[in-house]
Structure 1
Amino acid sequence: MRRAATALIAAVCVIGGVPGVARAEATWHPGTPPIATPWTGQVSPDNALPDYPRPQLVRKRWESLNGVWQFAGAQEGEAPPIGEQLSERVLVPYPIESALSGIQRHEDRMWYRRSFQVPANWRIGGDERLRLNFGAVDYDATVWVNGVQVATHRGGYDSFSVDVTDALRGRGAQELVVGVEDRTDKTWQPIGKQRNVPDRGIFYTSSSGIWQSVWMEPAPASHVDQLRMTPDVDDASLRLTAQVTAGDGRTVEAVAYAGNKVVGRASGPAGAELRVPVPNPQLWSPDSPYLYDLTVRVLDGPKEVDRVESYFGMREVTKIKGADGKLHLALNGKILFNLSTLDQGYWPDGIYTAPTDEALRFDIAETKRLGFNTIRKHIKVEPDRWYYWADRLGLMVWQDMPAMRTGGIPPVDARQEFERQLKEIVDEHQSWTSITVWVPFNEGWGEWDRTATGRIADELRAQDPSRMVNAHSGVNCCASKGDSGRGDIIDFHQYLGPASPIPSGDRVAVDGEHGGLGLEVPGHMWFGDGHGYEMTPDSATLTRRYVENQRDLLTVANRCGLSGGVYTQTTDVEHEVNGFYTYDRQIQKMDFDRVRDVNRAIVRSVDGTGANAPQLPPGTPGLTGVGWWPLDEGTGTVTDDKAGNHDGTLMNGATWTTGHSGSAVQLNGLNQYVDTRAAILDTTGNYTASAWVKLDSLGGFATAVSQDGSNHSAFFLQYSGADNRFAFSFAGVRALAPTAPETGRWYHLVGVRDAATGTLTLYVDGQQAGTASSCLGEASSGPTVIGRAWYNSGPVDYWRGAIDQVQVYDRALSAAEVAQLYAAGASK
């Protein structure tokens, strides 16, 4: 049974009646969000997102159905409440969990109900039909008009439209009921970062039900249903396909305008691709986001049947090889570094839905003001007006597919539904000028198979060859199934980063996420506290660390041939406090002038020439190195540095044992190590670390030589318990030996960092054993240590066994030199 109606409140807002149904009066009351944006108080039943919702296919006659609707929670299998009054009031189109909706709670199942009247000047019937349009409803929706089921739709991020003409009853009030089921992360449906129980981390409040605009409009039986527009810069034309309902025998005419001036026109059969000339096109770019207007008419002979207004931009997204020999992203034939923020699109008052159109515009405009030219729209799809503002203001967009939930492998039917919805979202968004990259997967969330990921990337490229496909953002991270090798982009994530992948084959390289520097601002946080990947005490420190982090990005870009970098993030979101703005958009958390200056310097300086790449010093010649600890003392707590002035101290009772040559240090794997108390290596350049090692046991991680960084070691010469292999590693990147080691046996390990080639190479007993790519090393100011590592700002991975003959070099040893070093030690 439907839950009992609550007492109705005396009317301020009246829901229109339906013939034969008693009228009920109730009041919508907004909830109180934990924090409010500057636009929260501007929202009312009379102005709930009143702007035309579909800017690329505009009809002059339309009427918004946003506003106050009746609402009730529902039970599974419950009959629709046709002709019944519902007890609560909800403000559409704000999701029910939001304060602006007036409900402010989650329901797995729910009913919406209202009445509407068709305007008297709309001649509905015969050749003129009434279309009912939904921007987005999360997740499964069923629609009834006057008790007649007119539509079902599955998917929380794509729009749908239905002809309701045959369900209308005369010219009076009509009843509209919408039933919705949204179980969020109880199922495998695409949800992005929504969770039924948000955590104090990176997952947020769910957004159920109608969360984008609802409107109706008259349209002829033969009408434009969709415009597919692809600019062809080389041909100086727009390739246009008008999908026309009941279009057989109809002609489509398209006219392009620059202001009031006609620049090109074309006509042809409905559904056919037309070439609309755009001679000497003025190209769209972030610096000059020029847009042309477009009128499209459907003709039956000489008679105009339908007319819609639209617009488009002329731009071309490609990959080209720079003077540095590396492949780069290019816009309009010129290398352009994609400097981006991670934009989640959440609001403390509307959750998934911005309170007003000005609020929706605000985040994009501020991103542009900060000197960025790109936005990564992170595992969420926005209302059409968001892309309209990106087009108008001039921001490139990397569009993510909302992910399925994390944890486990999705079943076959969920995979199929994910792929269907991905293709639908791409189809609906193919004409936005601003979108330049599609991103189907993020960090392995919801991924089921590396081969399938590659296939999906290939299919997206075939579906839309005019844009880049980033098959897997953060392919180095988290739940990733590994690199499929497909798509146009290889994308690493690293916090604090930046990440430093290298272009490979026909793929450019990008840093898909880095940064995440946090600052708590009391009174402007969703929770009473917050987190970031590195917390700072004040705005000045946050700004300084941001500038330092972005300068590191500039170094990576020039040295490694990086094509883009994505900083986390535009605004705080719930427990995450790593935005440029607080979650309520009330406080600027950094010095925006300094942010803009460093951002513009990055875009200006990264040009694919490699001219700004720093020059690496040659290093100290010979095989002695800049630090050499033979560990031959056999007694005491100090070991002599034979190459420099950084003697090592045996810590926490470390003892001596018989070494590979002479004596060696014996470590217990719990807390013992050798501390040089100095940052001996410049870990941003070339270096080498070597040691003779013996393990007493296998299993967990154990590190022989490392150098402490702020959060983790800059490098690890180690045994990787996760792989049961020796490794030379950066955080998240490992050059691995091919086979497992044996306990009780001496091995010679050498890790070579070659910054010029962006590689890590591991040698075992003088032979190359494994390689990995990571273009830039991390700066570190902590000590070089023997027998442990540093991770999450603390000591870890203590060596369990013996270590002997440790040497470090301020250059990358060659393979011949490593073999020579091994031979010299092996002969002792």
Structure 2
Amino acid sequence: MGSLLSIRLTNSSDAGYTLTGLSLAGNEGYDWLYNASGQATYDIVAGTFTDPKAGATLNFPLPPDGLSIAPGATAKVYGWIVPTAAPDASKTITATLNETAMPQVLPAKAFTAGNYYRLKLWWEGTEWKRFLLPPASDLIAHWKFDGDANNSVENKYHGTVNGAVLTEDKKGNSNRAYSFDGSSHIRINDGAITAFGENSFSCNVWINSIQSSGLGNVLRTDDCWSSQGWLLRFNNGRIEIWEGRSNSYSYISTNQYSDGKWHMLTFVRDVENKKGILYVDGVLIGNYDITGIVNNVSSRLGLWIGSGNRLEYYRGKIDDVRIYNRALTAEEVLALYLSTI
């Protein structure tokens, strides 16, 4: 008859947050709940509500002193709902937290009885936002490294492993990431997967390294000689993003990330805004400007993971490599980070 709705609340700011009120309310008079404006009456024999007591607002129970969420922490709240028998997915719902309505309205799902529903929200220091993960249709390749180097998006563009060995991922799960010893790599031979030409793209990868000196390619498409393609690599412990062909553009982070900890690296090539952007752990670190001709970054060599045409080898762990066929937004990058930590 009813369903369970959970809300996962992540505090991505540097300060603690105390939640004292949380509600979901249908907009434009949308009564998406039964048993909400009073005690509903249900006919067991007929299997229908005789007096549904429909309503628009769901208030979540919280501790008397509020729910404290530490920086970087996630809390969960639960609400029992009785969905309307006539759901309308064209409607919207507004979440209100501590008497402040979220600026993003939520799409009204066609809730049905007997199911478990989840909603993920994150606090970025000034307002609550909904997790807006990139649509699966924009993900053109995903090497999860869960026991092998196969692409999970479609049955091609699988990786060939050369010396890399399976190891623990960031959550301690065995055989769910690859370790590279400075002489190993994984290669995706078909260059079509990275044939972006003059278009935007994004790559996202988790790394764990202590490579504090020299060059170590995490992802690279050129052959280290022709300067035609793009890369994401360690440069003396710092993170470098680069692209080249007609012109070369690059950015190198100020901080080092060869600390033996897991970090999520995101390289976004945004042709529309003429930027190459680096994010680390979901946070914007820096960018380069595409000031001249937009490079055609297609490469005949495919994608190298852990080296560049058997040069500039990387030392450390790599996991969860994703390639998107467009420029991800800052909100999507942060949502990716928060959804995978």
Q: Under a length normalisation based on structure 1, what TM-score does the superposition of the two structures give?
A: 0.23
Alignment CA distance shift 1:779-1:676 (3 Å):
closer
Equivalents in 1 of 2:233, 2:270: separation in Å? 18
Q: As a proportion of its length, which structure holds more strand?
A: 2
Residue 807 of structure 1, CA deviation: 0.4
Q: CA deviation at 1:624?
A: 6.4
CA contact (8 A) 1:664 1:802 kept: yes
8 A contact 2:211–2:234 mirrored in 1:
no
Give per-residue Cα distances to partners, 1:538-576, cap 9 Å, x unaligned: xxxxxxxxxxxxxxxxxxxxxxxxxxxxxxxxxxxxxxx
Q: Does 1:786 align with 2:316?
A: no
Contact 2:275 2:289 in 1 (8 A): yes
Look up the match of 2:331. Answer: 816
Q: Is the Cα–Cα contact under 8 Å of residues 194 and 298 in structure 2 kept in the other structure?
A: no
**Which residue of structure 1 aligns with residue 226 of structure 2?**
711
Give the residue type in structure 1 aligned to 2:265.
Answer: L
In the alignment, is the contact (CA less than 8 A) between 1:682 and 1:810 conserved in 2?
A: no
Match of 2:282 among 756, 763, 766: 766
User: What are the superposed Cα offsets for residues 745-802 of structure 1, whole Å, 9 maximum, x if unpaired?
Assistant: 1110000001122211000000000100125233322211211124xxxx32211010
Partner of 1:629: 143
| Whole-angstrom CA distance in 1 between matches of 2:206 and 2:280 | 10
1:572-609 Cα deviation digits (max 9, x unpaired):
xxxxxxxxxxxxxxxxxxxxxxxxxxxxxxxxxxxxxx
> What are the superposed Cα offsets for residues 511-537 of structure 1, whole Å, 9 maximum, x if unpaired?
xxxxxxxxxxxxxxxxxxxxxxxxxxx
Amino acid at match of 1:692: W
Q: 2:228·2:298 contact (CA, 8 Å) conserved in 1? A: no
Tell whether the 8 Å contact from 1:713 to 1:789 is kept in structure 2 after alignment.
no
Q: Which residue of 2 aligns with 1:755?
A: 271
| Count, aligned residues | 195
Based on CA coordinates, which of the two structures has the bigger radius of gyration? 1
Q: Could you say if the C-alpha distance between residues 624 and 744 of structure 1 is closer, same or farther in structure 2, counting changes exceeding 3 Å?
A: farther
Counterpart among 126, 144, 149 of residue 639 in structure 1:
149
Partner in structure 2 of residue 655 of structure 1: 165
* Percent identity for Structure 1 against Structure 2: 24
Q: Is the 8 A contact 2:194 2:302 kept in 1?
A: no
- 1:675 matched to 2:187? The reply is yes
Q: Do the aligned partners of 2:233 and 2:240 also contact (CA within 8 Å) in 1?
A: yes
Question: Which residue does 1:696 correspond to in 2?
Answer: 210
Pick the aligned partner of 1:804 from 298, 316, 319. 319
Distance between the aligned counterparts of 1:692 and 1:752, measured in 2?
A: 15
Amino acid at match of 1:716: L
- Runs of 5+ consecutive residues of structure 1 not aligned to the other structure: 1-619
Amino acid at match of 1:824: S
The 1-side partners of 2:137 and 2:285 are apart by: 21
* 2:126 aligned partner: none
Q: Distance in 1 between matches of 2:308 and 2:220?
A: 6
Change (3 A) 1:810 1:725: same
State the one-letter code of the partner of 1:799: Y
Structural mapping, 1:30-45, within 5 Å = none
C-alpha separation between the residues in 2 aligned to 1:821 and 1:624?
Answer: 14
8 A Cα contact 2:219 2:231, kept in partner: yes
Q: TM-score, normalization: structure 2?
A: 0.53
Give the match for residue 743 of structure 1: 259
RMSD of the alignment, in Å? 2.0
Supply the distance in 1 between the matched residues of 2:242 and 2:219 (Cα, whole angstroms): 11
- State the distance in 1 between where 2:137 and 2:278 align: 17
Higher RCO, Cα 8 Å, sep 6+ = 2
Distance 1:624 1:659, change over 3 A: farther
- From the superposition, tell whether residues 782 and 824 of structure 1 become closer, same or farther in structure 2 (CA, over 3 Å): same
SS of match in other structure, 1:690: strand
Q: CA deviation at 1:623?
A: 7.4
Q: Unmatched 5+ residue regions in structure 2?
A: 1-133
- Change in CA separation of 1:623 and 1:669 when aligned onto 2, cut-off 3 Å: farther
1:726 aligns with 2:239: yes
SS at match of 2:136: coil
SS at match of 1:642: coil
SS at match of 1:823: helix
Whether the 8 Å CA contact 1:702–1:720 is kept in 2: the answer is yes
Q: Secondary structure at the match of 2:194?
A: coil
Give 1:657's aligned amino acid: T
Shift of 1:649: 1.3
- Segments of 4+ moved more than 4 angstroms: none
Deviation, 1:737, is: 2.2
CA contact (8 A) 2:138 2:326 kept: no
Q: SS of the residue aligned with 1:818?
A: helix
SS at match of 2:339: helix
- Distance in 1 between residues matched to 2:135 and 2:269, nearest whole Å: 16
Residue 696 (structure 1) shift: 2.8
| Alignment check: 8 A CA contact 1:706 1:713 kept | no
Q: Deviations over 1:405-439 (max 9, x none)?
A: xxxxxxxxxxxxxxxxxxxxxxxxxxxxxxxxxxx
8 Å CA contact 2:142–2:321 kept in 1: the answer is yes
- Give 2:305's aligned amino acid: I
What letter corresponds to residue 751 of structure 1 in structure 2? F
